[in-house]
């Protein structure tokens, strides 16, 4: 899936993701660089609404929802869970979807 296709698909689902606790969503990795292959997953990190209780079960539910809706593997994490040594690079290359 191209960068433009992935971001468009996520924009269409922004309301559902917000309703599930995402305050913002970002695409990173090969999709953000528009280098994704046909078999690539989509790497996404979210900022969680600080006023909402959000658990690992919520994250897994969101990941499953996106995988089913988009028909591709989704690697979903929160910004705070990004690897500390990679976080700055990931944030620089990330594209904010909403």
pTM of the model as a whole: 0.93
pLDDT, one tens digit per residue, over 28-80 is 999 999 999 999 999 999 999 999 999 999 999 999 999 999 999 999 999 99
- What are the structural domain ranges in the chain? 3-96
- Angle at the Cα of 87 (from 11 to 89), degrees rounded to 5? 85
Looking at CATH, the fold of the domain delimited by 3-96 is given as: Beta Polymerase; domain 2 (3.30.460)
- Angle at the Cα of 68 (from 23 to 64), degrees rounded to 5? 55
For residue 32, what pLDDT is reported?
97
């Amino acid at each position: 899936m191209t960068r433009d296709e992935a971001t468009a698909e996520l924009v269409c689902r922004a309301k559902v993701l917000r309703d599930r606790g995402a305050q913002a969503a970002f695409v990173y990795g090969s999709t953000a660089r528009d280098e994704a292959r046909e078999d690539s997953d989509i790497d996404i990190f979210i900022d969680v609404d600080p006023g909402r209780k959000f658990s690992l079960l919520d994250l897994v539910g969101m990941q499953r929802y996106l995988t089913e809706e988009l028909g591709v593997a989704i690697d979903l994490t929160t910004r705070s869970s990004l690897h500390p040594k990679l976080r700055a690079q990931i944030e620089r290359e990330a594209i904010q979807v909403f």
